[in-house]
A and B are shown apart, each in its own frame.
Chain A
């Protein structure tokens, strides 16, 4: 019987000839990522009483969650991290302004196909878009890896999701993944690896594959994998990632479930408060008045996302009464959007462009919501309280829906704007 991607890569990382789903293995990650939570992790690390981290070159730290520091507490966090980084000679440190970890890691060449990446952030699944096995873990686990280089993992069962068809205009990867999560439920793929495959995935840009892998977590998945192809190679090569081993699932691999989706008739989708799996077509909720729009985050803050919004907003202005925040996912995206005129278009339309980072996505600073307010966001999570206020409502949608809704100030199907 053939093996899934997860079984193959975890066997190789555990130094075993083969493993089976359900088995617990001890592995050493190729990269361990953490962000602003590195301050807390460094305190846990200190409790282990190991002087030096096991391998400073495998540790990547990105400051992105509350950047620049919103107040003294956050500033002290950042200070603790900078001191730790210096003391431990961690060279892969990306200070404020470089971008959101899940965009920065691939951009800076830390994401290599066929490797094992663990991250102290749930959306670490993002790197599966490049054929890496990438999963989120907790802070104590990260501290334990810093100290020992090792962690236990359960080899997950795998769902294969086969996607075919061509997206209609103004419908894309975000609508598809919301539809899949709505169909499977928030725990539909709990503890499973998901392999995305089929002609639609092959046809997708890297930016869109990232959306699929990023949001795999929102159906509970441990990893969301896309097979490496020439597009992956072309994207990675300029980032210095050239030599790697490509791991592919066997043709006769044993999958727990095989699911098929077709996108030809897919409509723009919306996740309604307060659950990511509470998904309906946008036109079911069209007309709901919005106070804020957020375009950005590790899900949809890439150049193609900003461009999609700019194409809709070009030469127009957003509605009175609605605020539109734009957070490019990284400095690289920011610069490209600046140089190509995308940012100017968005600013002229009335958007507020913030520095790269997570910003309002987690409700810690930059654009928190007030009680009774309604936000439409391109991010990946709409839980109660997520954007800083438990009495606010968050809808999740694509960049096209965000831009169309900014124009009208109400939830709007992007196909209705010419």
Chain B
């Protein structure tokens, strides 16, 4: 995983649920991540899928990813090129899914209130620091066993590694 992640922000509010991140009607009809990316955030911000740039960041309020267990809600953001999601808090299954798919995810309520759409953020993952307009905010590091999954690029590559498959 990249140690330093830097990018421009798409800002969202509280309780952004999995249905608006990736609509349920596509869950069994779209399996290609690139195609998923074309519907990312469709019901929250229709401009998103068209305008998102590789390396952009998402900053959101509390309970990001609440709702369904659908993993596509993390896959579609990763495929859209999102470098990391920073939020005040995450719904449990979304948090797990993001890590298991290798999408960096950071809980840092302090920074969220100061960030506006289009701002630039620099995240130093290993150090647990986010820099916004010259101000540093810290976030708690992930437990080691969880970090190992992100480092492998997600749970599946991690399991393969452990089973000696790669």
Give A residues with C-beta under 8 Å from B: 24, 36-37, 39-40, 43-44, 47-50, 65-66, 73-74, 77, 120-122, 124, 136-141, 143-144, 147-148, 152, 186-187, 190-191, 220, 222, 275, 362-364, 368, 381, 383-386, 388, 390
Contact = CB atoms under 8 A, between A and B. Distances in A.
Interface string B12-26: 000101011001110
B28 A66 contact: yes
Given A40-B31, A138-B74, A364-B28, 16 more contacts: A37-B28, A43-B31, A66-B28, A124-B69, A136-B69, A140-B97, A141-B96, A141-B100, A144-B100, A152-B145, A187-B62, A187-B63, A220-B63, A363-B23, A385-B25, A385-B42
Taking each of B15, B28, B67, which has the highest tally of chain A beta carbons within 10 Å of its own beta carbon?
B28
A190 B91 contact: yes
Interface stretch (B2-10, B112-120, B123-131, B151-159): B151-159
A144 B91 CA distance: 21
B91 A220 contact: yes
Contacts of B24: 362-364, 385-386, 388
B28 A36 contact: yes
Nearest to A368: B25
A187 B97 contact: no
A74 B69 contact: no
A255 to B, nearest CB: 18
Interface of B: 15, 17, 19-20, 23-25, 27-29, 31, 42-43, 62-63, 66-69, 71, 74, 89, 91-93, 95-97, 100-101, 143, 145-146, 154-156, 159-160, 162-163, 165
B17 A383 contact: yes
Nearest to A148: B159
B27 A362 contact: yes
Contact of B155 (A144, A186, A386): A144
A342 B138 CA distance: 59
A144 B97 CA distance: 12
B19 A383 contact: yes
Nearest to B157: A47
Given A138-B71, A144-B156, A388-B25, A186 B19 contact: no
A186 B15 contact: yes
7 contacts: A39-B28, A48-B159, A49-B165, A138-B69, A147-B159, A190-B89, A383-B17
A190 B25 CA distance: 26
Contact of A187 (B15, B29, B68): B15
B92 A220 contact: yes
A167 B68 CA distance: 30
Nearest to A26: B145
A220 B43 contact: no
B160 to A, nearest CB: 6
A48 B165 contact: yes
Given A383-B20, A384-B19, A385-B19, A364 B27 contact: yes
